[in-house]
Amino acid sequence: MSQDIKVPDIGDFDAVEIIEVLVSAGDTVEAEQALLVLESDKATMEVPSPLAGTLSEVKVKVGDKVAQGDVIAVLDSADQQAQTSESASQPAAPAQSEDATATQKDSDQAPAKPAPQADKAPAPTPAPSSASTPGEDIPHASPSVRLFARELGVDLRQVEGQGPKGRILREDVQQFVKTRLATPASGPAGQGLPSMPHIDFSKFGETEVRELPRIRKLSASNLHRNWLVVPHVTQFESADITELEAFRKQESARGELKLTLLPFVIKAVCLALRRYPEFNSSLAPDGSALIIKKYCHVGFAADTPNGLVVPVIRDADRKSVSELAAEASELAAAARDGKLSPAQMQGGCFSISSLGGIGGSHFTPIVNAPEVAILGVSRARTEAVWDGQTFQPRLMLPLSLSYDHRVIDGAAAARFAVALSELLSDIRRLCL
Ligand code: COA
């Protein structure tokens, strides 16, 4: 017997769009099986079949707008019991078995459950999706797309929907999988990392897209790799540079050469590297050995309009503080003008990142692998330091030593940091 399947009560909507038709004419369906998906302003909802049977006709297509009572399909029902039930108010047929008697007893105490009818379809099932709140945790997609994504193991929060109101379509999931398969893995450490979701920020306000300069893209990729590959620890220390600063100012005042703190720090680093050679090393790629360097090339991070670059002073251990000052100043100028050659940025053994000219107290620099340690220098401040009898105003320089814990133990790092502090606190030691 043929029966019309109609749109059930869907609330106060009179023109709700069909976004998916999940069946076709000739399909055999179960009772409660989803036939199509509607989308209102607030949500998507599935319309289930009220009965089991075969669909002789599907009268709607994707994009049609429907309201309560519209016929969506014609069903040849196989459910004889349902077909003979005339109305929702009629009680169920008397039961014959003991079990059924129990059911009947229950039904004496409670209103009878109406038998299903094709034109009294069950209520639509809201799907967990919200078109009005894009960007919330639940992505906007129909149930069948959710199922499809689940089958493929795709996290829908990472998929950008190209459908109306940002709804994720089946094609979006397919495209996402294709793109992922075509993207080479970024190496062992990058595998299995969750990627950032694609978010259209213009949904939330005005935006502007600025292409990243080439240097920034390159350094971003290196920093990311180093952050992932190197187990970082940062050791903090401070150095009393009261005397150093007095000497630096006195020498600068002579006008022959502008001396900043940086060349003194480079000099101290060279001496500490000589004392603790594992800081002047690189881990062999298979992790089985340390490659100790007998040379001492020191890099320093330079802030340029195009991003961060690290020029390298070669054989820094063989140069005086004033030679280091002159060379650092030349390299920094070349970096700012974008005139550093690749050779001037290669071969570093250890890096220094000095933010002291800008400010800040401490920070945790990222090791410039394959180097195994980096020194962060922050802004010196006058602090009250106890000399055993009284507090003295001393100029204290904050130091942050980040290191690769695969190569360097915490105790070695503390020794290295203390050595730096002592060298900078008494610059006579820099001459030794
Ligand atoms: N504490 C107090 N003052 C400091 C200081 C410190 N730790 N470091 C520098 N200064 C002072 C300098 O003495 C100078 O003052 P003066 O003109 O009165 O003598 C002023 O700050 C500017 O110094 P700066 O230009 O920073 O010179 P520098 O030789 O110390 O540093 C560079 C040179 C290239 C390192 C620096 O210009 C730079 O680019 N720093 C940024 C590095 C960076 O971005 N690191 C981040 C990596 S993640």
State how far Cα 362 lies from the chain centre. Answer: 25
Pocket of ligand 1 contains residue 355 by CB under 6 Å: yes
370: preceding bond cis by omega (within 30 degrees): yes
Report CA(296)–ligand 1 centroid distance (Å). 22
Please identify, among 182, 201, 235, the residue that sits at the C-terminal boundary of a domain.
182
Indicate which residue's Cα is closest to atom 20 of ligand 1.
357
Distance from first CA to last CA of the chain, Å, rounded?
104
Pocket of ligand 1 contains residue 230 by CB under 6 Å: no
Listed range (11-15, 70-74, 97-101) with the worst mean pLDDT: 97-101
Report CA(378)–ligand 1 centroid distance (Å). 9
Cβ-contact 362, 207 below 8 angstroms: no
Is the domain of 27 the same as that of 156? Answer: yes
Indicate which residue's Cα is closest to atom 19 of ligand 1.
260
pLDDT at 34 over 70: yes
Listed range (90-104, 121-135, 215-229) with the worst mean pLDDT: 90-104
Asked whether the CA dihedral 94, 100, 101, 107 is positive or negative, the reply is: negative
Indicate which residue's Cα is closest to atom 22 of ligand 1.
357
- Concerning whether 405 is annotated as a catalytic residue, the answer is yes
> For residues 282 and 106, what is the distance between their CA atoms, to the nearest angstrom?
79
Indicate which residue's Cα is closest to atom 16 of ligand 1.
260
What is the chain's alpha carbon radius of gyration, rounded to the nearest angstrom?
36
Report CA(369)–ligand 1 centroid distance (Å). 23
Is the domain of 347 the same as that of 229? Answer: yes
Tokens representing residue 263 in the block = 């060349």
Report CA(60)–ligand 1 centroid distance (Å). 71
Query: Largest Cα–Cα distance of the chain, in whole Å?
Result: 114
Please name which of 408, 298, 297 lies closest in space to residue 354, comparing C-alpha atoms. Answer: 298
CATH label of the domain that carries residue 417 = 3.30.559.10
Is the domain of 422 the same as that of 289? Answer: yes
Is the domain of 17 the same as that of 68? Answer: yes
pLDDT tens per residue, range 131-147: 333 344 567 788 788 88
Is the domain of 144 the same as that of 266? Answer: no
Is the domain of 173 the same as that of 257? Answer: no
| 203 within domain boundaries | no
pLDDT tens per residue, range 310-330: 999 999 999 999 999 999 999
Report CA(180)–ligand 1 centroid distance (Å). 43
Mutation test of ligand 1: which of 261, 321, 383 has the most ligand atoms closer than 8 Å to its C-beta? 261
Cβ-contact 152, 180 below 8 angstroms: no
| 266 within domain boundaries | yes
> For residues 309 and 11, what is the distance between their CA atoms, to the nearest angstrom?
62
Report CA(376)–ligand 1 centroid distance (Å). 12
pLDDT at 99 over 90: no
Is the domain of 243 the same as that of 378? Answer: yes
CA 363, 365, 371: angle at the middle one, nearest 5? 155
Cβ-contact 116, 79 below 8 angstroms: yes
- The pLDDT assigned to 356 comes to 94
**Averaged over 199-209, what is the pLDDT?**
93
Indicate which residue's Cα is closest to atom 23 of ligand 1.
357
Q: Which domain range does residue 143 map to?
A: 2-79+137-182
Q: Choose between 96 and 76: higher pLDDT.
A: 76
**Averaged over 104-119, what is the pLDDT?**
38
39 three-state secondary structure: strand
345 three-state secondary structure: helix
78 three-state secondary structure: coil
Contacts of 12 (CB under 8 A, 6+ apart): none
Query: Where would I find the H helices in 237-353?
Result: 242-253, 262-275, 321-336
Cβ-contact 115, 82 below 8 angstroms: yes
Please state the φ and ψ torsions of residue 165, each to the nearest 5 degrees.
55, 30
pLDDT at 262 over 50: yes
CATH label of the domain that carries residue 144 = 2.40.50.100
| 92 within domain boundaries | no
Pocket of ligand 1 contains residue 283 by CB under 6 Å: no
Tokens representing residue 307 in the block = 């991003």
Is the domain of 267 the same as that of 314? Answer: yes
Contacts of 85 (CB under 8 A, 6+ apart): 114, 115, 116, 117
To the question of pTM greater than 0.85 for the whole model, the response is no
pLDDT at 402 over 80: yes
pLDDT tens per residue, range 280-304: 999 998 889 999 999 999 999 999 9
Q: Which atom of ligand 1 is nearest to the CA of 332?
A: 34
Pocket of ligand 1 contains residue 367 by CB under 6 Å: no
Is the domain of 62 the same as that of 174? Answer: yes
Is the domain of 147 the same as that of 296? Answer: no
| 209 within domain boundaries | no
- The count of domains in the chain is 2
Is the domain of 218 the same as that of 171? Answer: no
Mutation test of ligand 1: which of 260, 327, 368 has the most ligand atoms closer than 8 Å to its C-beta? 260
255: left (phi over 0), alpha (psi -120 to 50) or beta: left
Is the domain of 173 the same as that of 320? Answer: no
Pocket of ligand 1 contains residue 353 by CB under 6 Å: yes
| 316 within domain boundaries | yes
